[in-house]
Amino acid sequence: MSTDEVNPYELLSVKVESTEQEIRTAYRQRSLKVHPDRNPNNPDAARKFHELNQAYELLLDPLRRLALDAKLRIKQAKAERFRNYDNKRKNLVEELEAKEREHKKARVDKQKEEADRWHQTEKIKEEGRKLREEKEKELMRARQQQEPRVDQEEDAPPALGTHDTTVRLKYKHKTHQELTTPESIAALLSPFGSVDTESIVISLKNKSSSGKPPKYVTALVPFRQIGSAFAAVCASNQGVLDGVEAGWVGGQEPEILVWLKKMGKLGAQPQPPLRPSSSLCPEADLPQTDIDPPSSFPSFPTSPLRHPIPTSAPPDLTAAGIDYESLTLMRLRQTERERLEREIREREDLEQ
In the chain, what's the furthest Cα-to-Cα distance?
A: 150
Band of pLDDT at residue 170, cut at 50, 70 and 90: confident
276 & 254 share domain: yes
Q: What is the pTM of this model?
A: 0.39
User: Average pLDDT in the 231-246 region?
Assistant: 81
Overall domain count for the chain: 3
Question: Would you say residue 351 lies in a domain?
Answer: yes
User: Average pLDDT in the 194-201 region?
Assistant: 84
270-326 pLDDT, tens digit per residue, is 444 544 333 345 444 433 333 344 444 544 444 443 334 333 333 343 333 445 555
Nearest CA among 269, 265, 272 for reference residue 282: 269
d(CA 241, CA 245): 7
214-227 pLDDT, tens digit per residue, is 778 888 888 888 88
User: Average pLDDT in the 116-126 region?
Assistant: 93
182 & 236 share domain: yes
User: Does the pLDDT of residue 243 top 90, yes or no?
Assistant: no
One DSSP character per residue, 38-103 reads T-TT-TTHHHHHHHHHHHHHHHHSHHHHHHHHHHHHHHHHHHHHHHHHHHHHHHHHHHHHHHHHHH
Query: What is the predicted pLDDT for the residue at 325?
Result: 56
Measured CA to CA in angstroms, residue 323 lies from 32, 66, 326 at distances of: 124, 122, 6
Lowest mean pLDDT among 58-62, 258-262, 288-292: 288-292
One DSSP character per residue, 229-250 reads HHHHHHHHHTTTTSS-EEEETT
Question: Would you say residue 22 lies in a domain?
Answer: yes
Nearest CA among 256, 233, 265 for reference residue 162: 256
Query: What is the predicted pLDDT for the residue at 285?
Result: 43
332 & 235 share domain: no
Range of the domain at 336: 309-352
Nearest CA among 54, 40, 43 for reference residue 1: 54
d(CA 320, CA 301): 31
Residue 22 sits in a domain whose CATH number is: 1.10.287.110
User: Average pLDDT in the 61-79 region?
Assistant: 90
Neighbours of 214 (CB within 10 A): 16
User: Among the three residues 289, 307, 325, which one is the final residue of a domain in this structure?
Assistant: 307
Q: Which residues contact 154 (CB under 8 A, 6 or more apart)?
A: 263
Question: Would you say residue 79 lies in a domain?
Answer: no
Q: What is the average pLDDT value for the chain, to the nearest integer?
A: 75
User: Average pLDDT in the 259-268 region?
Assistant: 67
276 & 352 share domain: no
